[in-house]
Amino acid sequence: MHGRLKVKTTAQQQEEKRKEREKKVKIFTGAMKQIFTQRGNDELMDSTLQLTQQILASNPDVYTLWNIRKEIFVKKLEVVEDIDKLLLEELDFLQNCLQVNPKSYGVWNHRMFTMLKMKTPNWPRELKLCNLFLQYDERNFHCWDYRRFVVRESKVPAEEELNYTTEKIKENFSNYSSWHNRSKLLPQVFPDESGKVKEEELLKEFELVQNAFFTDPNDQSAWFYQRWLLGRRKEETRLLSLIIKRTSKTLVASFSQPVKKCDLCESCSKSGEETLLIWKPLAPTQSNVSHTWVSEINLQTDESSMISVVFPTITADRSFSLEILETQDSAQLSWEKDFRDESNLFSDTHTEAKTFVLENELEACQILLEEEPDNKWTMLTIVYLMKALDGIKHAEAIAGMIDKLMETDPMRKGYYQHLRSKFNLENKLQHIYNEKGSIKELDLSNQSLITVNRLEYLSTCEKLNLSQNNITNFDFIQSLPLLKSIYLSNNNAISSINVDELSDKFPGLIVTV
Torsion of CA 76, 80, 84, 88, to 10 degrees: -50
> Taking the CB of residue 164, how many other CB atoms lie within 10 A of it?
21
Mean pLDDT of the chain, nearest integer: 89
Q: What is the pLDDT of residue 315?
A: 83
Which domain CATH number covers 123?
A: 1.25.40.120
End-to-end CA distance of the chain: 86
Phi/psi for 10 (5° steps) reads -60, -40
Sheet strands (E) in 89-225: none
Residues 28 and 156 in one domain: yes
Residues 159 and 60 in one domain: yes
Q: Is 147 helix (H, G, I), strand (E, B) or coil?
A: helix
Q: What is the pLDDT of residue 363?
A: 95
pLDDT digits (tens, 9 = 90+) for 83-92: 999 999 999 9
Q: What is the mean pLDDT of residues 436-449?
A: 92
Q: What is the pLDDT of residue 148?
A: 96
Q: What is the pLDDT of residue 498?
A: 67
Residues 333 and 360 in one domain: no
- What gap in Å lies between CA 304 and CA 78, rounded to an integer? 78
Is residue 322 domain-resident? yes
Is residue 137 domain-resident? yes
Residues 380 and 275 in one domain: no
Residues 160 and 267 in one domain: no
Residues 471 and 419 in one domain: no
Q: What is the pLDDT of residue 336?
A: 81
Q: What is the pLDDT of residue 217?
A: 94
Residues 20 and 142 in one domain: yes
Q: Which of 88, 20, 30, 73 is closest to 55 using CA atoms?
A: 30
* Structural domain containing residue 364: 352-423
Residues 148 and 286 in one domain: no
Residues 16 and 161 in one domain: yes
- What gap in Å lies between CA 512 and CA 378, rounded to an integer? 42
Confidence of residue 80 (pLDDT cuts 50, 70, 90): confident
CA distances in angstroms from 456 to 100, 240, 434, 481, listed in the order given: 54, 7, 18, 11
Q: What is the mean pLDDT of residues 109-135?
A: 96
Q: What is the pLDDT of residue 300?
A: 80
HSE (CB half, 13 Å, CA atoms) of 107?
23
Q: Which of 17, 325, 318 is closest to 9 using CA atoms?
A: 17
Confidence of residue 342 (pLDDT cuts 50, 70, 90): low
pLDDT digits (tens, 9 = 90+) for 257-314: 999 998 999 889 988 888 999 999 998 776 789 999 999 998 887 788 899 999 988 8
Q: Is pLDDT of 3 > 60?
A: no
- What gap in Å lies between CA 317 and CA 308, rounded to an integer? 12
pLDDT digits (tens, 9 = 90+) for 349-358: 656 668 888 8
- Please say which residue of 174, 194, 214 terminates a domain: 194
Q: Is pLDDT of 348 > 60?
A: no
> Taking the CB of residue 255, how many other CB atoms lie within 10 A of it?
22
Q: What is the pLDDT of residue 401?
A: 97
pLDDT digits (tens, 9 = 90+) for 156-191: 999 999 999 999 999 999 999 999 999 999 999 999
Q: Is pLDDT of 128 > 70?
A: yes
Is residue 207 domain-resident? no
pLDDT digits (tens, 9 = 90+) for 445-501: 999 999 999 999 999 999 999 999 998 888 899 999 999 999 988 876 555 566 777
- Count of the separate structural domains present in the chain: 4
Is residue 201 domain-resident? no
Q: Is pLDDT of 252 > 90?
A: yes
Q: What is the pLDDT of residue 117?
A: 95
Residues 374 and 449 in one domain: no
Q: Is pLDDT of 411 > 90?
A: yes
Q: What is the pLDDT of residue 497?
A: 61
Q: Which of 374, 383, 419, 426 is closest to 401 using CA atoms?
A: 383
Q: pTM (2 decimals)? A: 0.83
pLDDT digits (tens, 9 = 90+) for 209-247: 999 999 999 999 999 999 998 886 777 888 999 999 988
Which domain CATH number covers 465?
A: 3.80.10.10
Q: What is the pLDDT of residue 494?
A: 58
> Taking the CB of residue 207, how many other CB atoms lie within 10 A of it?
11
Q: What is the pLDDT of residue 343?
A: 67
Is residue 384 domain-resident? yes
Q: What is the pLDDT of residue 162?
A: 96
